[in-house]
Amino acid sequence: MPATPKKWLSAIALSALLLVPAGAAESPQIAVATEDHAALGNTLNHILNDPRLAGATIGVNVSKAETGETVYAHTDDLLLHPASNMKILTGIAALDSLGPDHRFKTDVSHDGRLNNGGVLHGNVYLQGRGDPTLLKSDFEKFAKDVKAKGVKKVKGDLIADATWYDDIRLSEDLNWSDESNYTGAAVSALTASPNTDYDAGTVIVNVNPGKAAGDPATVTLDPATDAVKIDNRAKTVAKDGRKSISIERAHGTDTIVIEGTIPAGATASRSWTAVWDPSLYALDLFKKALEAEGISISGGLKKGSVPAGAAELASKQSMPLRDLFIPFMKLSNNGHAEVLVKEIGKVSADEGSWDAGLNVMADVLAKYGVDPSAMRLRDGSGMSHKNLVTAGQLSTLLYGIQAEPWFPVFLESLPVAGDPDRMTGGTLRNRMTDGPAKGNVQAKTGSLTGVSTLSGYVTGADGEEYIFSILMNNYLAGSVTPIQDDIAEAIAGQ
């Protein structure tokens, strides 16, 4: 087991130099640094003395990547909300327990008899095992495969099987206000994504103006689906009118309500909106694909499970986890994180639930020098305001995993500061766009109301590689990311 980075450092030589940061008044611990990092410590304390952090709670840890030795610490033992830095823990657990080559599987099967005329007497099943990357084109490929087996008509139902995971689709701490947002999309073993960002369980709602003022707005969906209903209350107004469109799915329903005004000739308003039942969404896309291939369905769309002895019609394996980690971590995809928690539970404990997955996650994290009983794990994405970790624990984990054979996969998945490519720079593509941090800092961002975090790796000007974790909670300022960027740039210039 790797050594735990030291938390308590001698500050005697620095006591006359270091400022007490704005957030330190709430804690008896004063920020400290090793003697050979006195200048860095003084710089970081000066940065943290920003008035935007008045009253905030802050945890910062900077450690040497080679040894795990802490060189700067400011209340890094405070339990704080990590926001999407929680994905660091989820990602580590997934790579450790599933492996970078893990794939999700989707099957199409039937329980009937296919006669010489192409009539299938029985039900057709679409069985998901967690793949969050299924696109409209995948369902079209399934339909072509079914047609190639000689099926022309199904005298039975289309049945969605999502029983690989439990039937709890929303994590227990998800806010009511997030239910219809893509960031809070329901989790299911059978789901679909609208594009290659792979925001599973969402549909893109496009609102365009009508032909003239007074006309209803024009609404389209990508992909087109009957799994949701549209309640269009939006109106077209004159060209100089106000554009104000609201797109929200009514709680606990499959109805998307569109309200507001859009000027004639205006560009579209778009929203990635979470569907109510991802498995029926996927099944509807499959049905449309079958019909496009000329295959008719006499029955309805239902939910169930594949019976023993069902015959396979089509199958697909997803991209390996190493590839999924790019959109997952670069774009901070909440749905991927929650799917991974359930997949960890299913593969390791034969239970596809949050409880099982988080228990396995705790066991994995203990391997890397942290005590899981000294943190709180509530979900995989960081959406919960009940998750609690410390900056010191995050640095310890980032240190401990460096010897793992899958570490290059994890490192590559982290956003790169200032790189404009979405699948490289990710959520850091518009931050630290010049100076020593650009192209150097590789770190995971995190953001919730009153929470902003950044943890990862950076190489100093002296060639020393550092690990850092910055957790900021309970601030009232509009944004504190520039303060985090200043810290990362200071370490890069060390």
What is the predicted pLDDT for the residue at 226? 97
What does pTM read for this prediction? Answer: 0.93
CA gap 98, 94 in Å, rounded = 5
Domain ranges of the chain: 12-100+322-492, 105-167+278-318, 202-274
Residue 1: partners with Cβ closer than 8 Å, 6 or more residues away: 367, 368, 369, 400
What is the predicted pLDDT for the residue at 494? 86
The segments of the chain whose pLDDT lies below 70 read 1-30
Set 63, 64, 84, 269: catalytic member: 84
Q: Edge-to-edge strand order for the sheet containing 158-161? A: 301-303, 158-161, 124-128, 105-110, 311-317
Biggest distance spanned by C-alpha atoms of the chain: 90
Instruction: Give the mean pLDDT of the chain.
Output: 94
84 in catalytic set: yes
87 in catalytic set: yes
What is the predicted pLDDT for the residue at 30? 64
Set 63, 171, 180, 332: catalytic member: 332
DSSP bridge pairs for 204: 222, 272
Q: Which CATH number, 3.40.640.10, 3.30.420.10, 3.30.70.380, 3.40.710.10, labels domain 12-100+322-492?
A: 3.40.710.10
Looking at residue 388, what DSSP letter applies? B
Is the link from the previous residue into 223 a cis peptide, with omega within 30 of 0?
Answer: yes
105 in catalytic set: no
Report the top-level CATH class of 105-167+278-318. alpha beta
What is the predicted pLDDT for the residue at 10? 36
What is the predicted pLDDT for the residue at 46? 96
At 345, give phi and psi (nearest 5°): -65, -40
Set 63, 64, 87, 147: catalytic member: 87
